[in-house]
Structure formats: C-alpha cells, structure tokens
Amino acid sequence: MVGSNKVANVISMRNRFTMPTGFILAMTFLTRLPMPKVVNFQPEDMAKAVVWFPLAGMVVGLFVASAWWLGGLVHPALAGLLGLLMWVWVTGALHLDGLSDLTDALGAAHGNQARFLAVLSDPHVGSFGVVALVLQLLVKWVLLSLAAYDTLSFAVLVFIPAWARLGAAWWSLSLPSIKPGLGETFAWQGKTRQLVWTCCFLLAVSSLQPVLFLATLPLIFWRTWLSIKLGGQTGDALGAGIEVNESLSLLLILLTIHVLPAWALFVGSASL
C-alpha cells in the first residue's frame, strides 16, 4: 500500500509539473529537439506557441553558445564553424528555408504580387535562394569567428536568438498574413499582454549585457520592411526575418564593441 501511494504521488507531481502546451509546440516547431507529444492537440493551440518563441530562442542560443565556446578552446575559426553547425542543426535549417524561399520569390516576382506568392509556394530552390543561403552561412561563420576573437560574452549569444524570435512573435501579431500558411497559423488573437510581459523579461535580462539592446533595432527594421515591401507577413518572411535579425544583431554588437573604444580613444586624444 505504501509503495502504491509513492507511485501515485510521483505521478501526481509529474502531472503537476507538465510543460505548458505552448512551450512544447514552440520547441517542436522551432527546434529539432525531442519533446513530449501534445495530448488532444487542436489547430488553434498553435497560437499559444508564439508567446514561447523567445524562450525557445534561448534554448537555441544555449546550444549555439555552448558549441561556439567549445570550439573557441581550440581556435576562433573552429568556434565559428561549430557554432554555425549547431545553429543549423538545432533549428533544422527551418529559418534558412524561409530565407531561401523569400529571396527566390522577391527575385522572380519583379513587383508582381501574384507572381511573388506563386513562387513563394514553390518547394524548389532557385538561384536567388541558393545565393542567399551561401551568403547567410558565410556571414554567420565569419561573425561567430570574430566573436570568438573578441571573446564575446557567452550570454550575448544565448539571447540573440531569443530577441530574433520575439521579433517573429511581434511581426505575426502586428502584421496581417498575406498568404495561407504558417504566418496565418501563428497569427495571434488578442495575446498582446503575453507579448509585453515576454518583452519586459528580455529587457530585464538584457540589462545585464546592455549591448543586447542593439538587437531591438533589426526587429524594427524588419517589421518596417515587411510592412512597406510586402504589406504583411508570411511564414517564410518570419523565418527569413529571424535569420536576418540574428546576423544583423551580432554584426551591430561586434561593431559597437570595436567602435566605442576607438571613439573614446579619439575623443580623449582630441581633448588633450
């Protein structure tokens, strides 16, 4: 009887600490890490996942930063390579696929909206998409290698993917979906409060590494570009935005690390 009570208590505790459905769905969609199955899944549950995007991004960042740090013990170039390989693996190249599709569609549309949407739905990869993939991978490898040379903080790499995925949540909330698909699936229905709380959490944590506030600038840029260029968002545009924002954020942070000391030295010498 005592043994049965212990088993019942363990089962009760496991049920009590079950991971939220939204988090499981966010991790399942944004990463290739094994997650529990969602019981009684409903399509509308996908909207619950959006608020958990930044936390999923932190998990991605933790894996990337760990691989990057291990590589840095040998050589900065190896840090860049291992960080890049982990970035591609843990995300399943999902956002790279969005970047490729969006680039192909933009390159072939020539300003024609119907043509743009048709090419965006084409599963084949064209020359524009291949070029975008190669350039993005090269950019990330170079930036990660430079980050290792500059001994960038481990925490910065953890939170860059989190900010990028907060951006995806914001874009899906604030922009209309222009094409049936994931962009429409993740469109929110009045979940602004959760987004605000998530943003406040990231701002609070980022205050420990103030250079992370620079990651907000690419978010605003991409949201503005989507609004002007596309008039809305799609799943591919969200994925492409995550890739672009990760690279731009890392670039801005590295430039700031280099420029600010040089500027301070210049100002100091000019005042003498």
Between 192 and 116, the more confident residue is: 116
Give a yes or no: residue 35 inside a domain: yes
Nearest to 230 by CA among 241, 214, 215: 241
Nearest to 60 by CA among 102, 12, 95: 95
| 65 neighbors 161 (Cβ within 8 angstroms) | no
What is the spatial distance between Cα 28 and Cα 21, in angstroms, rounded to a whole number?
Answer: 10
Give a yes or no: residue 1 inside a domain: no
Give a yes or no: residue 81 inside a domain: yes
**14-23, 54-63, 83-92, 211-220: which range is least confident on average?**
14-23
Per-residue confidence band for 265, with pLDDT thresholds at 50, 70 and 90: very low
- Specify which residues 233 forms β-bridges with: 177
What's the one-letter identity of residue 19? M
**60-74, 185-199, 209-223: which range is least confident on average?**
185-199
| 169 neighbors 53 (Cβ within 8 angstroms) | yes
Q: How many domains does the chain have?
A: 1
Per DSSP, the three-state class of 271 is coil
- For the record, the structure tokens of 30 come out as 């944004």
What is the spatial distance between Cα 159 and Cα 156, in angstroms, rounded to a whole number?
Answer: 5
Q: Which domain holds residue 116?
A: 6-270
Residues 53-82: tens digit of each pLDDT: 999 999 999 999 999 999 999 999 999 999
Please give the full DSSP string across 102-118, using - where no structure is assigned.
HHHHHHHHTT-HHHHHH
**Is the pLDDT at 181 greater than 80, yes or no?**
no
**Is the pLDDT at 169 greater than 60, yes or no?**
yes
Which residues contact residue 126 at a Cβ distance below 8 angstroms, ignoring those fewer than 6 apart? 104, 107, 108, 119
Per-residue confidence band for 12, with pLDDT thresholds at 50, 70 and 90: very low
∠ CA 101-104-108 to the nearest 5 degrees?
140
- Number of residues that this document lists for the chain: 272
- DSSP alpha helices (H): ranges in 31-126? 46-49, 53-72, 76-91, 94-109, 113-121
Give a yes or no: residue 167 inside a domain: yes
**Is the pLDDT at 237 greater than 50, yes or no?**
yes
**Is the pLDDT at 184 greater than 80, yes or no?**
no
| 105 neighbors 120 (Cβ within 8 angstroms) | yes
Q: Averaged over 241-248, what is the pLDDT?
A: 97
Please tell me what DSSP assigns to residue 229: I
Give a yes or no: residue 124 inside a domain: yes
